[in-house]
Each structure stands twice: as C-alpha cells, then as structure tokens.
Amino acid sequence: MRLVQAISSEKIVVFEKESVTLPLGFKAGGMHCGIKRKRLDLGYIVSEVPATAAGVYTTNVFQAAPLLVTQESIAKEQKLQAILVNSGNANACTGEQGLMDAYEMQKNFAAELHIDDHLVAVTSTGVIGELLPMDKINQGIKQILQKEYEQEDNFKKAILTTDTTVKNTAVQLKIDGKTVSIGGAAKGSGMIHPNMATMLGFVTTDANIAYDDLVSALKDVTNQTFNMITVDGDTSTNDMVLVMANGLAKNNQLTKEHPDWDLFVSGLKIVCESLAKKIARDGEGATKLIEVNVSGAYSLEAARAVGKSIISSNLVKTAIYGTDANWGRIVTAIGYSGVPVDPNTVKVGIGPITVFENGLPCVFVEEEAKEYLEQENVQIFVELNQGDCSAAAWGCDLTYDYVKINASYRT
Amino acid sequence: MRLVQAISSEKIVVFEKESVTLPLGFKAGGMHCGIKRKRLDLGYIVSEVPATAAGVYTTNVFQAAPLLVTQESIAKEQKLQAILVNSGNANACTGEQGLMDAYEMQKNFAAELHIDDHLVAVTSTGVIGELLPMDKINQGIKQILQKEYEQEDNFKKAILTTDTTVKNTAVQLKIDGKTVSIGGAAKGSGMIHPNMATMLGFVTTDANIAYDDLVSALKDVTNQTFNMITVDGDTSTNDMVLVMANGLAKNNQLTKEHPDWDLFVSGLKIVCESLAKKIARDGEGATKLIEVNVSGAYSLEAARAVGKSIISSNLVKTAIYGTDANWGRIVTAIGYSGVPVDPNTVKVGIGPITVFENGLPCVFVEEEAKEYLEQENVQIFVELNQGDCSAAAWGCDLTYDYVKINASYRT
C-alpha cells in the first residue's frame, strides 16, 4: 500500500460545525416517527443527482438485514442517491421478515423520491431482535421530505441511540481550481470495536471521483480511523460507513493518478478521524478521550495491533478513569498484543511523562502524572524501536456509568 | 489429540476443603514478611523428595523475572522439590536487578532446605515495576520453615492479592490399588484472560508419573480449564501453573499406555477446573459465575473461540450483572468470534430458556429469565449445529465494583 503523503494543513480548511450538507447538492433531514418514545428516530440524506457510492460493513457474521439490502443495492451500479436511517431498532436477527421490512423501507422512500429502489441505502441502529414497527416507519417516510423536517441538525440527531452528542465535521479543499467539500456525520456509543463496530458513518462529497478509487480511499481511511477506535470490544451487527460522491464540484475526475489525490484522501481522513474520535469520546459512560500513538513498529499491522491492545484493555481504561498512572497495565497490554516486541527497547509515555524505558520503570512525580490524567484528552505514547511504522488508536475510559448504562439498556 | 474418556464420578472422590498437602509427602506454609501491610505475603510448598515437575507460563512477552528463573530451573532435570511464592509485588518489569532478586530468593530458600537451587521454583504476584524488598523477603525465608508457619491454610492465604477467598480443591483415586491424591491451590482475581492470566496455580500429587506424560496432561488440562476463564481480558506478566508429582503413592509409573491414564487425567482436570471456576467466580467485583457451554462446533478450537468470545464480552457481562436476558449481545459475540457460524442454525439458551433459534428470537417470559439470572451461577448454552465438538468457558459479571477496584488499585 502506498502511504498517502502528509498534506500541509493550509490546503485543507476544517469546518467543525458543518456536516453532510456542506458539499453541493446534498440535503438532509430527520423526524420523530415513533420508534423511540420522544427523540428523533428517522433521518435521510438525499443528493440532487445519483452519486458514486462505496461502503464498508461490519465483520460480524450476524449482519443485520439493512446491510444486506444496501450492499446489494450499491453492487448494481455503484451509485446511491439517498440514505434512509432509523434509530431505536437495529432490524438485526429478524430473519426473512426483517429482510422484507428493509426492502419495504427502501422501496417506499424511493417512491417518495421518484428514483429507482437501488439508489436508496437503508440503515438501522438500536435494539436487536425486534421487528421494525413498519406502520410508523411508513407513515414517517410519507412525511419526512416535507420542508419542516429538512434540517441537517435533525439528521444528526435522528441517527443517535445512547449517544450524548451529535457527531459531525467537514472540510474544504481545492482541486483543479474547484472547491471540493467533504462532510460527515456519525453515531456510535456502545458495542464499539475495530472492524466496524456499532457505528454508522455517513460521508458526502461533491467531488468527481472514480468508483474504484473511492472504494480504495474509503477502505484505507477507514482502517486508519473508524477501525482504530474501541469503546467496549464488541463488534456490532449493524456497523457501516457509506460515502456518496455526487461530482457537483465539477473537478476533473479524481483517480490515484490525479495530482491532488493525496489532498483529497487527506481531507477524507480528517473527516473520518474527527468522527471516529468523537465516537470514542462519547463512548458509553466515558469521561475522557484516550489516544494511543504507537511508533517504531516493524509493520503497520504491528503498530495497529499494539495500539488496539492498549486501547481495549479494561485495566488501562479503569486506571485512566481513576487518574492513576498505572504504566504496568500499559506495558502488560503491549506484551499480550501478539506482536513480538523486545521488552528492553520499548519506551512508554503518558502525555509528556516518560514512564518506562529500556525494560525498566522511570522515576517520575506521581502528582504530575495524576494532574496530566485529570485532563479530558489523554495521550499515551509507545515507541517500539523496531522499525518505521506508526499508528494511532482511540478509545475512552471505563467508568461506573458504563456499567450502569449497560446493566439496564436492552440493545 | 486423543480425547480423554469421561470417567464415572464414583471412581474419583472430591475433597473440596483439601488442598496441596493431601498428597503424601507435601507440606505447605505461609507468613507475613512485610511486603504487604498486614496480610500474609510469603508462602511455600515443599516435597519430602524431588518431584517430577511441569509448568505452563504466560504468553505475555513481558514475562516476569521469577518465570524465567523457574522455567530454566525445571529445564535442568525436570524436577522440583519446593515452590516459594510471594504476593504484593510481581517482580515484573524490573530488569537485571529483578532477575538477580529472583535468583537470590531461590538460592536462599534452597539453602534453608539444604537442596540444590534448581529444585526451588520462585513465583511472584502483585504490583508491577517495583523491586522486591529483598531484606524483608530474606528475613522471611530464614523463618518461614519454622513449625508455627507450617499450615496449608497459611499457604493458600499468602498467595492472594485482590482475591476475596482462598481457592483450593483435591481429589483421590485408585491406581494399581494405590490411593493417588491430587491437590491444588490457586490465586487470581484481576488481569485474568485465557492463555495464562494473572493467575497462579499450584498442583501437587503423589502419583508416580513419567515427565513427558505429565507435561502433556498439564497442557491438555490447562487448555480446557485455566485457559478457558476470563475476568477482564488482560493477560498478565506473571501467570503460571506448576505441578509437582513426587511418586510417593507408589503406583506403577503412569504413562499414556497405563490403563488408568484417563482416570488420572480426569482427576487432574477436576482439580484444575474447580480452581479455574473459583478464580472466575472471584473475579474483581464479580457477583456471579458465568459458564458458557458451546456444542455442535466443527472443531475444538471453534468451540473454544465462541465460548471465549461470549465470556469476554463486556456487554454480556454487564447485562448479566443487570439480570437482563439480553440475548442480542450473546448472538453478537458469537458473530464476531471469528468462527464462520451459520446464523440460521445457531441456538442460544440462557439456563433452561431458549432465547434464539433458526436465526430468530424465541418468545419467552422476561420475568422468568430475570429470575434465572438472579442466581449466583448463570449458564449460557450455545448449539452451533455444525459438528461434534464442544467446550466450556467461565467468567464473571462486570460490575461497579470492578471499576472501583481498578480505578484505584495500583497493580
């Protein structure tokens, strides 16, 4: 894999408050149709014209019905014009009826839009094993395109479950003298683990881009962003990230040979990384975002494995919740990552404080470490001194509230 | 691998209250030497004669110093006559000095016993990254063989860290008309995960047994017992299980060809499984023991992988703590186990209640499931309908107290 070159940040403008409708030709909205008690539970993104589309999906063998329908639909002509999302019910483990319901959602929304069925992606998130309340959803589909529901903010809210905040970001960059925008929104809070966790990500762009290259960019970027977060180690049945590129920015078609390919991929990465970190920070019960930076690995896979091992450790997560600079747990997690590291060359830092080096603990002031760990964003650095590869992973602390939320919430 | 035949329970007598000194020729003791504030922290097992010895060790690449010393010592002539254990300090991540300290412990205890150094195994458990207080340990070693400390109960207590109870069991069986005893004691509470977690297990027997066959029996049995438990998914730097067989029962030497081989292995398995379950039940903060039984797998590895996936899921563990029959989380964990199961043939039961079958949820009375989950021992059954292999895995629920213990305890 060719690594995309780092792009000077001047070339990419980040709009933290913007989302999926910053790119030209996209609208979004959401409403309460009655799946949840009160909060918004049905949302859409629609493009003026069919957009080149790509997706990545959960690796869980119990894939939910809407994922099957969406994958099949994109396979037809690699295009989407709309995405319909419901929250509150995952339509997972629902058998034949669940599949029929997913097709019905697709068909009815396509009819409202007067487009072909296969141009509509359907996605669901929420409780597993219950049939969708199709009466309510069909009623919702009939009304949702009304002007009053058309608000990007409604969309961002309609996709949430146990999330406490909406998650969005957008960037702009210049390609062939044209302004290209990439916007994203996501949900995810529990059942979050690398390889597509209970997580939905929606990315829109007005870039003109070749299908194969869009697929490969999405895959690469997802491996570096969404697949590097964990909340609880559980990989859900419903995860997916979809990207729609409608070409309305009118740049020359992007391919890997285009001089600004790296710029576009960097922009896509900024959007996905921002969404991924927001999901990790909003992990169920979390009070902190933890970022692990691994460098000096002999391969990208090794760097990622070490990062994921640390970020997934319940003992590391509880120590950070307790603002305890318990580096022994970090070292232990490195040790069982499956990567043959040499204990005598590993260096570990908690923020600015080096805690372990040359196989031995370092002397440091506990109070300073405690003060650092009291921050909302905690960074852990690991230098393996075995090579040139590096990776970042994101997660959150494990708290009383995680237990509270999950001892009672029926997913 | 030939599977050992199930042995009728009449042939094996279980003594739940006995431990490592039930077999002939073993004594054990423990004392407070000052590593911990008040509780016992130094313990030993001694055999009258050198015993054939075998061990299994952590897979963590950061192996603690005492493990290196013990492995090297057993390698010399496959024998041990004594085991010295300290708790409160793991002597892990302590570099050259840690290694020298482990050798010093070994040497000094061997001198007290007037035996060769390599006949003494040393093991440590507790805080990572601090040097052992060798003054206190050496003082302890000088006194520990005094009559007043010689009590099996002291040994069982001296090996504990965050454990809330001692863990022991023993069995007796007849081989060649001789009574053969197998006894065990263990510790383990946090950093517990398959492949030798922070867990120490000590097994003694007076059986006369060939070294190679003892090694293979220990490995097989460990894979079915100690390696099938998890508390928090963290594999420690210090895990080990040691078995000493001193031959004083005077049976004809046991080998795989001996007619009572299966009987001996079954006895060993009962001891190890009992200790493993006690460790799981005493997991940090746990209120319940969870047992997952997987059947119908196409291989033993597949059965174990599915069992471990379920027992390791934070979401399953919190649901059981909350007495919530959240089968969706069980199904999800099966789905990400890495085993290519067919969702349409999987059957899942929570105790006597079937909750999922033929790809669909079953109708069941929530209140009945809740009542079942209120018990202290919870069983989950999974039938994959793909073959004839089965496995059991054990763990515990994830509670507020787990977070409390680990947000403050400095391992």
Q: What is the pLDDT of residues B197-218, one digit of tens each?
A: 357 888 889 899 999 999 998 8
Model ipTM over 0.90: no
pLDDT band for A6, please (50, 70, 90 cuts): low
C-alpha Rg value of chain A to the nearest Å: 21
Residues 245-304 of A with CB under 8 A from B: none
Nearest to B401 by CA among B286, B302, B293: B286
- Torsion, CA B363, CA B366, CA B367, CA B368, rounded to 10: 50
CA-nearest residue to B319 within chain A is A407
What's the mean pLDDT when you consider all of chain A?
Answer: 89
Give me the pLDDT at residue B314, please: 86
Q: At residue B195, does pLDDT exceed 50?
A: no
CA-to-CA distance for A348 and A358, rounded, in angstroms? 10
Reference B49, options B72, B18, B27; nearest CA is B27
What is the per-residue pLDDT for B351?
95
Which residues, in sequence order, are CB contacts of A200 under 8 Å at separation 6+? A85, A123, A125, A159, A186, A187, A188, A238, A239, A240, A241
pLDDT number for residue B1: 37
> pLDDT tens across B72-117, in order?
999 999 999 999 999 999 898 888 999 999 999 999 999 999 999 9
Q: Is A334 on the interface with B (CB under 8 A)?
A: yes
pLDDT of residue B190: 61
Considering the candidates A198, A205, A222, A235, report the single residue annotated as catalytic: A198
Contact B341 A61 (CB under 8 A): yes
| Residue A242 pLDDT greater than 70, yes or no | yes
| Full set of structural domains in chain B with CATH | 9-281 (3.60.70.12), 289-408 (3.10.20.340)
The pLDDT of residue A411: 43
Question: What's the whole-number mean pLDDT along residues A110-138?
Answer: 94
Per-residue pLDDT reduced to its tens digit, A63-97:
889 999 999 999 999 999 999 999 999 898 888 99
Which residues, including other chains, have CB under 8 Å from residue B132's CB and lie 6 or more apart? B35, B86, B89, B91, B94, B98, B101, B105, B124
Burial of A148 (0-12, 13-18, 19+ CB in 10 A): exposed
Tens digits of per-residue pLDDT, A270-314? 998 888 888 888 888 889 999 999 999 999 999 999 998 999 888
Whether B45 and B155 have beta carbons less than 8 Å apart is answered as yes
Flag whether pLDDT at B409 surpasses 80.
no
Would you name the residues of B annotated as active-site residues?
198
Where residue A46 falls (left for φ over 0; alpha for ψ -120 to 50; beta otherwise) is beta
Answer yes or no: do A128 and B341 touch at CB < 8 A: no
- How far, in Å, are A158, A278, B54, B120, B319 from residue B69 at the CA level? 59, 46, 14, 9, 42
Name the percent of chain B lying above pLDDT 90: 60
pLDDT of residue A278: 86
pLDDT 10s digits, B280-327: 888 888 899 999 999 999 999 999 999 989 998 888 999 999 998 989
Q: Is the pLDDT of residue A236 over 90?
A: no
A141 or B315: which leads in pLDDT: A141
**A187 a known binding residue?**
yes
B345's tokens: 């043939």
* A227 interface with B at CB cutoff 8 Å: no
A326 — contact with chain B (CB < 8 Å)?
yes
Chain B CB contacts of A340 below 8 Å:
61
pLDDT category at A2 given cuts 50, 70, 90 is very low
Chain A residues within an 8 Å CB radius of B318: 402-403, 406-407
With 60 as the cut, is the pLDDT of residue A263 above it? yes
> Who wins on pLDDT, B214 or A227?
B214
Give residue A357's pLDDT. Answer: 93
The pLDDT of residue A326 is 87
pLDDT at B230 over 70: no
The pLDDT of residue B284 is 80
Structure token pair of residue B186: 């263990």
**How much is the pLDDT for A196?**
37
Query: What's the pLDDT score for residue A190?
Result: 61
Query: b or e along B163-183 (b: 16 or more beta carbons within 10 Å of the residue's beta carbon)?
Result: beebbbbbbbbebeeeebbbb
pLDDT recorded at residue B235: 64
pLDDT (mean) for A308-333: 89
- Give me the pLDDT at residue B332, please: 86
A406 in a known ligand binding site:
yes
More confident residue, A232 or B343: B343
Average pLDDT of A122-148?
94
pLDDT at B153 over 80: yes
Question: Is A354 an annotated catalytic residue?
Answer: no
Q: Which residue of A has its CA nearest to B331?
A: A62
Q: Is the pLDDT at B6 greater than 60, yes or no?
A: no
Burial of B69 (0-12, 13-18, 19+ CB in 10 A): buried
Instruction: Count chain A–chain B contacts defined by CB atoms under 8 A.
Output: 186
Q: Above 60 in pLDDT, residue B358? A: yes
